[in-house]
Amino acid sequence: MIVLGIETSCDETAVALYDGARGLLANRVFSQTELHRRHGGVVPELASRDHIERLLPMIEGAIADAGLTPQAIDGIAYTAGPGLIGALLVGASVARSLGYAWDVPVVGIHHLEGHLLAPALEPDAPDFPFVALQVSGGHTLLAEVGGVGRYRVLGETLDDAAGEAFDKTAKLLGLDYPGGPALAALAERGRDGKFEFPRPMLDRPGLDFSFSGLKTAVVVAVRGKELDAQARADVARGFENAMVETLVAKSLRALRQTGLSVLVVAGGVGANRRLRDELTRAVAAAGGRVHFPRPEFCTDNAAMIAVAGHHRLEAGEREELPVRARARWPLDELVAPGH
Ligand code: KG4
Ligand code: ZN
């Protein structure tokens, strides 16, 4: 079965073709970073408009990349949420329209399910069950992944996502959006111990995260001060140390708590070199193993949506094509979720 995957939940327009037998046949991603850079963050309206312009040509391009025609496509999977509503609607409308035109089934995928199943795109995919640490600009969570559709959230952020904290701290230090990679580069030149920031929630049991206090501590450290280049690097280092230590400690705790030995790291912050080194070392010392999907499968992409969609479409799941709006709708027709 060949599935067309579509991802438009935030600021990447992504399209992929995945074949259950042959694997990934095409994978295109367009990042809108340049479009949003001068605004210092993602502007939802600009994101939606850009998705509208790019999505159909990218689908044509991906089909050509795979050397296929639309007739070869057996099903469509699109990101149905969570994300920016206008951006999501672009992917949803295109997916549902193409499904109708081509007469193939369509399924809406949860964006995080895509991330959690992304390791399946690698030849050395880890077996279920494993613990996943998802750290990106939009989400931060630890989940136990027992199989497709079998997820248990072990902990998540109560406020900012890890990538968001990197980006906000980078902004405070005068670095360009998205500042995570620039902050990491600056931290390389920083010295340990010059700035000690709090390790959020490490002293408490549980696996939730909170990064707003860490961000505030950085604000307090830099506000009203003329920091020279070395001091800025020291602040970056102090921030990265606190962040890495927190993510490593919680990941180890999650492995201990579940009794599992494999940790999968996904999301843009997973590109952070010190996080990778420290996690690899700490998990190995605890007798486990860390799996890092390659960067293009860690950050937002449609290959992961196509893989998740492939599992669900093969199992017979599909959305009804009519989009329903009802002028009259008795309240007592509603049923509780899951019934
Ligand atoms: O997964 P991703 O590409 O997009 C979503 O948020 O969905 O993650 C982007 C985030 C940004 O916040 C970016 O600053 C951060 O990942 N990031 C990094 C590094 N590379 C990307 N943060 C720290 N160190 C890095 N090397
Ligand atoms: Zn994502």
The CB of 268 under 6 Å from ligand 1? The reply is yes
Please measure the distance between the N-terminal and C-terminal CA atoms of the chain and give it in whole angstroms: 30
| Beta-carbon neighbours within 5 Å of ion ligand 2 | 136, 300
pLDDT at 312: 93
Global pTM value: 0.88
- For residue 126, give the nearest of 301, 268, 262, 266 by alpha carbon: 262
Nearest ligand to the CA atom of 301: 2
Considering the domain architecture, whether residues 321 and 185 belong to the same structural domain is answered as no
- pLDDT surpasses 60 at 127: yes
- Expressed in angstroms and rounded, the spacing between residue 256 Cα and the centre of ligand 2 is 26
Each residue of 6-49: pLDDT tens digit?
999 999 999 999 999 999 999 999 999 999 988 988 899 999 99
pLDDT at 329: 64
The CB of 267 under 6 Å from ligand 1? The reply is yes
Is residue 236 in a domain? yes
Is residue 123 in a domain? no
Considering the domain architecture, whether residues 132 and 278 belong to the same structural domain is answered as yes
Considering the domain architecture, whether residues 132 and 277 belong to the same structural domain is answered as yes
Q: Give the pLDDT band (50/70/90) at residue 77.
A: very high
Query: Distance between CA atoms of 90 and 53, rounded to whole angstroms?
Result: 10
Is residue 328 in a domain? yes
Considering the domain architecture, whether residues 227 and 276 belong to the same structural domain is answered as yes
Considering the domain architecture, whether residues 147 and 272 belong to the same structural domain is answered as yes
Phi, psi of 214 (to 5 degrees): -65, -45
Q: What is the dihedral of CA 94, 112, 48, 178, to 10 degrees?
A: -150
Atom of ligand 1 nearest to the CA of 272: 26
Q: Which domain holds residue 58?
A: 2-116+298-333
Domain edge (last residue) among 260, 277, 292: 292
Considering the domain architecture, whether residues 324 and 240 belong to the same structural domain is answered as no
CATH code (residue 308): 3.30.420.40
Query: Distance between CA atoms of 310 and 252, rounded to whole angstroms?
Result: 32
CB 75 within 8 A of CB 314: no
Considering the domain architecture, whether residues 258 and 145 belong to the same structural domain is answered as yes
- Expressed in angstroms and rounded, the spacing between residue 167 Cα and the centre of ligand 1 is 8
Q: What are the b/e assignments for 180-196, b being 16+ CB within 10 Å? A: bbbbbebbeebeeeebe
Each residue of 136-148: pLDDT tens digit?
988 899 999 999 8
Each residue of 224-268: pLDDT tens digit?
888 999 999 999 999 999 999 999 999 999 999 999 999 999 988
Considering the domain architecture, whether residues 18 and 58 belong to the same structural domain is answered as yes
The CB of 293 under 6 Å from ligand 1? The reply is no
- Expressed in angstroms and rounded, the spacing between residue 181 Cα and the centre of ligand 1 is 7
| Beta-sheet strands, E only, within the chain | 2-7, 12-19, 23-31, 75-81, 106-110, 130-135, 140-147, 150-156, 262-266, 289-291
